[in-house]
Structure 1
Amino acid sequence: MTSPESQSPAPQPPEPESKDRVYRSVPAIAGGVLLLAVAGWLGIDAVISGEGRTPWLALAVLLLVVPLIVAFTLRPAVYAGDDRLRIRNPFRVVVLPWGRVASLRSSYSNEVLTESGAKYQLWAVPVSLRARKKAARREMRATAQAQRETGREESRGSALGMTAGLRHGLSHEPVSDGPVRAETDRIMDELRGLHEARHQAESARGEVTVRWAYEVLAPAAAGAVLVLILLAVG
């Protein structure tokens, strides 16, 4: 009989791979859910209460509209891993190894540029000029408050003496930990940091792949054809 000490240790489970960071647009998802609810309500009402070819036309319109709503609102996402960036846009899925990414650019839209010169837009990380202006105003207010606090510290230090001023200065907490940024700009900063850290890694090499989203295009095209046929038949 084998003693417990002589038994071989149980194999250790493999370490879990790091999960991708997922970025999506919450306003787009909320808008998509609302549009789907409205389209479903109108379409089902037309199917139930409609007469003649109206129910069939309503079904064809739903077949056309629902995939497009999903494509532009619920579907877009960006998956950032240690070795690659996967972009799920309305009609395409683009996989970019970090070694093939040249830069990430933000202007009126957030984009990824490859070493070959190709450009892909990040639909899931839209640029909001309103959010940028709001962040700029917050940054200005934080800077003004910091300047006022500094002036108070200097005045209090002159009145109470250098020792009291230094003691209060050591206990004073900063007003802001850093510059105020819009949410999508912070996301782009994270992606740029990940790109800088991983673009030279051996595992981040590979080819850029682009796949069309036939699961969206096929039903939308079928719905469009049915709508045209029903309208032509009259």
Structure 2
Amino acid sequence: MYSLSSRSPAHPTGISSRDAYAVSAEFYDVLQGEADAAQVRELYGTAVGSARHGVLDIGAGTGRVTLLGLAESEVGVHAVEPARSMRSALMTRLASLPAEVRGRVTVHPCSLDEARLRGVADIAVCHNTLACLDPSSRRRLYPAVAAALSPGGLLLLHLPPARLPRTPTVRPLPPQRLGRHEYGGHMVLSAEAGRIRTRFDYWVRDGTDVVREHTETFWMWPASRDDVAEELAEHGFTPVPDAGDPAVLTVRRE
């Protein structure tokens, strides 16, 4: 299941990725953060704990993979997050850490290709991010990852949905209480012009009264596992067999 994490789904039409998530950033950690943190530990904990050179978090969002890298390894962590709203939450979270831990993380406020990182990590994680990239942007990501990884380094890539939804699908976001207010919402996925339209509807209630309602719409692009592996092969990546959860494609840089 896809959640709103990092930069996935993509930024709203007509809005720069640096200005996206102005609505959703407020609700993400409250409604999805705990479940996403558990998923991140399950999918990437072992690999991140094996890092000996550095950890690269591509589409860091509010920082679940970044925090995992800081907790499970002793190496430097590079967090790449262009969206200002999500990055603000990430920076606030990092600011609460001890100085010696903060000293191991560098936040890059741009896309990975713009960051121009070279050989900074032996483990890279791209969680809930690839789906937000249209095919041309997706292909620009791969050489940037290859440059940022040391030879033999691993990329763990959370795969996009393989196909368009046949019918609109509604996924509830379980309500969470903060003081007098209850926060909740749902996500609606539908196909439109070869893309996945992803609408998030949020609400805040005080008892039976609705205090606020907000909506934000994003786009995702489907891609099959085989297609992604083929694209990565063009940039020197080879699949690692039997590498874990089928939702994640693990590849090694030659």
Q: TM-score range by the shorter chain?
A: under 0.3
The TM-score normalised by the length of structure 1 is 0.23
The TM-score normalised by the length of structure 2 is 0.22
Greater per-residue strand proportion: 2
